[in-house]
Amino acid sequence: MTLADMQFVTPDLRLAAAEIFISLMACLILLFDLLVKDRKRTATFVATQLTLVAAALITLATSSGEISYTFSNMYVGDLMGDLLKLLLYVTVLVVLFYSRGYILEREQMAKGEYYALALFATLGMMVMISANHFVIVYVGLELLSLSLYAMVAMNRDSVPATEAAMKYFVLGALASGLLLYGMSMIYGATGTLEITAVAERLYTGQVDRMILVFGLVFVVSGVAFKLGVVPFHMWIPDVYHGAPTAVTLFIASAPKLAAFAMLVRLMVNGMIVLAQDWQAMLILLAVLSMAIGNIAAIAQTNLKRMLAYSAISHMGFMLLGMVTGVVSGDARFALNAYSSSMFYVITYVLTSAGTFGMILLLARGGLESDEIDDFRGLNKRSPWFAGMMMMMMFSMAGIPFFVGFFAKFSVLQAVVAAGYLWLAIVAVAFSLIGCFYYLRVVKIMYFEQPVSPTPIEAPAQMKILLSANSLAVALLGIFPQALMSLCAFSLLRSL
């Protein structure tokens, strides 16, 4: 082949306009921050928030509702990706608002690099959401991971934060190795790394099945690490506990959306033919996660560690929807099952953001307020904030009529419809165990004397945002149908 025969196909940059914009703005904000003399970095903060708003507008403007490919089919634009990106922007924007006061009280973190790293992490998640190639999935994952490692370690004066960053880095590198090894085996079995092409080769049977299943095991392991499910959960409690609470909030929210997208892209888009193999693996991960997550959370006295084990159990519950899509080769239940998982992960991110927002609110004078006892008698200090925290705990416990109840109900409905009645019974049993540690927080807030009688003061924007977050948890519990339908429609147009 001569050079004249080789034709360069110009990629459709419109599809990736939001990613290009975020990457440019992250670099510009990093340079712009060098000129900022204000210690509070107000200009940098505002520029970051405006970048997220502009990215949302770009995503809305470029969304066609159709499945489109660009960059030699390595990037896919579809409705599911657009919806998850919009939710991602909102989540990061809210997280940065919640974190503002906390960051300003810590000199090591009150720097422009924090906001630039948050944007680079957001870019990594966007790439994961729209990847149609195993290498692009890995690039997005590493961009996210490296940004998070740096964010965890930003408070260099904190020994727990440095230790958490080291643990996260070492275990993250191990997980990346597992994922890469799995991808190389899938390439060896199919001869391609393009996700849609892998699906075609599997459908036609042009594969070495033994190597493929080995590769699948390693890929599932890598995805399971990002979701933080058992037995790849070792990093979650230590990183949640040791990281600065503002960074814990970031890790506990936005990356869950990207991890769900990664799961859908790799398993559903790429390897649906092997559904019975990977569903069997995910059933084991889901049951173990619900068991260990809920039981271990009971023993915790630190609220961040309790929420870490809670996150493990919630991600296990989310996986239940993914394991009931294909039953005996029949994919009739797929849309209902996958949309229930998508609804679950979105509502979990919403509730998790509000819960950690409350922990950040109580952190004062450079001190953490992440022990369960720090919430003792909160109702006497601020009935309003105590009511909002109660709503978050009720939602996470799955108590009607908050959004967490309907998220659990939609997943259980999909599980029962697919004929996995025993799995639904196991999930309900572990959810009942989980109610104990959530209700314990409510009991401490309402029925015990406060450690300090001083009322809780909060900036107006923090109060408004926390109130809006709690209102969303309550209203989506009463009117869940709109979001459920949106999840189902976006998946219907994308799979």
Q: Taking all residues of the chain, what is their mean pLDDT, rounded to a whole number?
A: 88
Q: How large a percentage of the chain has pLDDT more than 70? A: 97
pLDDT of 7: 63
At 366 the pLDDT is 64
Residue 1's pLDDT band (boundaries 50, 70, 90)? Answer: very low
Q: What confidence tens digit (pLDDT) does each residue in 133-149 have?
A: 999 999 999 999 999 99
**Range name among 67-71, 247-251, 308-312 with the lowest pLDDT average:** 67-71
Instruction: Say whether pLDDT at 348 is over 90.
Output: yes
> Which pLDDT value is given to residue 349?
94
- The pLDDT score that the predictor gives to residue 14 is 84
pLDDT at 255 over 80: yes
The pLDDT of residue 4 is above 60: no
Q: Residues 6 or more apart from 319 whose CB is under 8 A from it?
A: 227, 229, 282, 285, 286, 289, 341
* pLDDT 10s digits, 288-337: 999 999 999 998 888 999 999 999 999 999 999 888 877 766 677 788 88
User: Whole-angstrom Cα distance, residue 373 to residue 189?
Assistant: 54
pLDDT value at residue 205: 78
Whole-number pLDDT of residue 106: 80
Query: Is residue 2 over pLDDT 70?
Result: no
pLDDT value of position 6? 53
Q: What are the pLDDT digits (tens) for 363-383? A: 776 677 778 888 888 888 888
| Least confidently predicted of 317-326, 360-369, 394-403, 472-481 | 360-369
Q: Which sequence spans correspond to the domains of the chain?
A: 17-492
The residue-averaged pLDDT of 109-117 equals 86
Q: Please give the average per-residue pLDDT across 259-277, as a whole number.
A: 88
Cα dihedral 141/142/145/149 (nearest 10): 180
Residue 353, pLDDT > 80, answer yes
437-448 per-position pLDDT tens digit: 999 999 998 888
Q: What is the pLDDT of residues 184-200, one digit of tens each?
A: 999 988 888 899 888 88
The per-residue pLDDT for range 122-136, each reduced to its tens digit, is 999 999 999 999 999
